[in-house]
Amino acid sequence: INVDFADVKAVMQTAGSALMGVGRASGEGRAVEAARNAINSPLLESTIDGASGVIFSVTGGPDLTLHEVQESANVIYQSVSEEANIIFGAVLDDRLHGEVLITVIATGFDMAVQAARPAARTETPRSQASGQYAAQLQSVSIAPAVTSEPAAPQSSTESSDEMKKIASDILDIPEFLRGR
């Protein structure tokens, strides 16, 4: 059962942010352990709980059974929304004797949007400045800019419509013609 780009597109098309996890296990209960490792992967900043779109692939050697695929699918099904769009695939790889590898991509979370914090800026103190303009830099006083009106936030629909138009424009022109 192959997972292709159309499956990935179906899950991720309108889902917002995505998380990806990879799990690998061998031995007794390897499929369940690999699924747990994938959804609790240290690569994930949060869990896949409540995801509304999930695509996952179970890869194993010739000894991979359909029962193991079903067990790993159950672990993932229990972690996501009941109405989630879930697509999975199973692949046999002769190089994975006694091992199971599971890759999970989850999207569409019911998470609260966290306020973006500005990145901390590191500045060189004026007293440590050197070079051609050091004397001028030390004599300049810098006052923080104060505005009387806060900037109006751009609505998310405006920015997403703008991004879709840009992406559409780029994709309408074949790559070999873009540079002309």
Q: Find all residues with CB under 8 Å of 61, minimum gap 6, and list them.
A: 92, 93, 94, 95, 96, 97, 98, 99
- Quote the strand ranges of 3-142, DSSP E: 18-26, 53-60, 85-92, 99-107
> Which strands sit side by side in the sheet containing 99-107, from one edge to the other?
18-26, 99-107, 53-60, 85-92
Report CA torsion sign: 64, 65, 71, 72: positive
Q: pTM (2 decimals)?
A: 0.55
Closest Cα partner for 102 from 144, 43, 50?
Answer: 43
Residue-level pLDDT at 120 = 40
Are the CB atoms for 107 and 17 separated by under 8 Å? yes
Distance, in Å, from the CA atom of 88 to the CA atom of 137, rounded to the nearest integer, reads: 60
Distance, in Å, from the CA atom of 139 to the CA atom of 126, rounded to the nearest integer, reads: 9
Instruction: Go through the domains of the chain in sequence order and give each one's CATH number.
Output: 5-107 (3.30.1330.20)
Residue-level pLDDT at 122 = 43
Are the CB atoms for 54 and 84 separated by under 8 Å? yes
Closest Cα partner for 58 from 44, 37, 79, 43?
Answer: 37
Residue-level pLDDT at 31 = 93
Residue-level pLDDT at 151 = 53
pLDDT means per 10 residues, the chain with 180 residues, are 65 71 91 91 72 88 91 90 84 90 82 35 47 53 49 54 60 66
